[in-house]
Chains A and B, each alone.
Chain A
Amino acid sequence: MISETLMNWGMADGWAIFLGSLIGVLVIAFPLMLAVAIVIYCDRKIWASINLRRGPNVVGPFGILQSFADGLKVFLQETIIPSAANKGIFILAPIITFTVALLAWAVIPFDAGWVLADINVGLLYILAISSLSVYGVTMAGWASNSKYPFFSAMRAAAQMISYEVSIGFILVCVVLYAGTFNLSDIVEAQRGHGLGFINGYYFNLLLFPMWVMFFISSLAETQRVPFDLTEAESELVAGYQTEYSSMAFALFWLGEYANILLMCALNTLLFFGGWLPPVDWEPLYWVPGIFWFFAKTFFFFFMFSWVMATVPRYRYDQLMRLGWKVFLPISLLFVFLISGWLMLTRYDQPDYDCVPVSTTGTVATDDAVLCGPESVVQ
Chain B
Amino acid sequence: MTVFAFYLFAALMIASGAFTIFARNPVHSVLWLILAFFNAAGLMIIVGAEFLAMLLVVVYVGAVAVLFLFVVMMLNIDFAEMRAGFMKNAPLGVAIAVILLAELVLGIGAYRAGALELGTPDGTAATLVGESNIESIGALLYGRYLFLFEVAGIILLVAMIGAIVLTHRGTTNPRGQQDIAKQNARRPEDATRNVRPEIGQGIEL
Contact = CB atoms under 8 A, between A and B. Distances in A.
Interface stretch (B83-91, B104-112, B139-147, B194-202): B139-147
A357 interface: yes
A152 to B, nearest CB: 12
Interface in A334-378: 356-359, 362-363, 368, 370-372, 374, 376, 378
A318 B178 CA distance: 11
B34 A135 contact: yes
Contact of A362 (B57, B124, B180): B124
Contacts of A25: none
B129 A376 contact: yes
Interface stretch (B7-15, B63-71, B153-161): B63-71
Contacts of A134: 62, 66
B69 A121 contact: no
A363 B73 contact: no
Contact of B139 (A124, A158, A371): A371
B69 A376 contact: no
A142 interface: yes
Contact of B27 (A119, A142, A318): A142
A358 B70 CA distance: 45
Given A121-B50, A124-B58, A131-B61, A142 B66 contact: no
B139 A164 contact: no
B84 to A, nearest CB: 23
Contact of A357 (B58, B62, B69, B144): B144
Main SS of chain B's interface residues?
helix
B117 interface: no
A154 interface: yes
Chain A: interface residue count, which band? 35 or more
Contacts of B130: 374, 376
Contacts of A153: 73
Contacts of B73: 138, 142, 150, 153-154
B131 interface: yes
B135 interface: yes
Interface in A163-190: 164, 168, 181
A134 B64 CA distance: 13
Given A164-B62, A356-B144, A321 B70 contact: no
A260 B191 CA distance: 39
Contacts of B140: 357
A132 interface: yes
Interface string B126-140: 001111101100011
A139 interface: yes
B44 to A, nearest CB: 11
Interface residues of B, number: 35
Contacts of A161: 62-63, 66-67
Interface string B30-52: 01001000000000000000110
A374 B128 CA distance: 13
A120 B129 contact: no
Contacts of A142: 27, 73
Contacts of B34: 135
Given A121-B134, A359-B144, A128 B128 contact: no
Contacts of B1: 14, 18
A120 B61 contact: no
B63 A120 contact: no
A371 to B, nearest CB: 7
A125 interface: yes
Given A153-B73, A157-B70, A368 B54 contact: no
Given A89-B31, A134-B66, A181-B134, A128 B124 contact: no
A127 interface: yes
Contacts of A128: 54, 57-58, 61-62
Contact of A120 (B50, B69, B70, B178): B50
Contacts of A358: 144
Interface of A: 14, 18, 86, 89, 119-121, 124-125, 127-128, 131-132, 134-135, 138-139, 142, 150, 153-154, 157-158, 161, 164, 168, 181, 317-318, 321, 356-359, 362-363, 368, 370-372, 374, 376, 378
The 6 closest A-B pairs by CB, nearest first: A131-B62, A128-B57, A124-B54, A357-B143, A356-B143, A357-B144
Given A127-B58, A376-B128, A376-B129, 5 more contacts: A120-B50, A131-B58, A138-B73, A161-B67, A370-B135
27 contacts: A86-B27, A89-B28, A119-B50, A120-B134, A121-B50, A124-B51, A125-B54, A127-B58, A128-B61, A131-B63, A132-B61, A134-B62, A135-B66, A135-B69, A138-B66, A142-B27, A153-B73, A154-B73, A157-B69, A161-B63, A161-B66, A356-B146, A357-B143, A370-B135, A376-B130, A376-B131, A378-B129
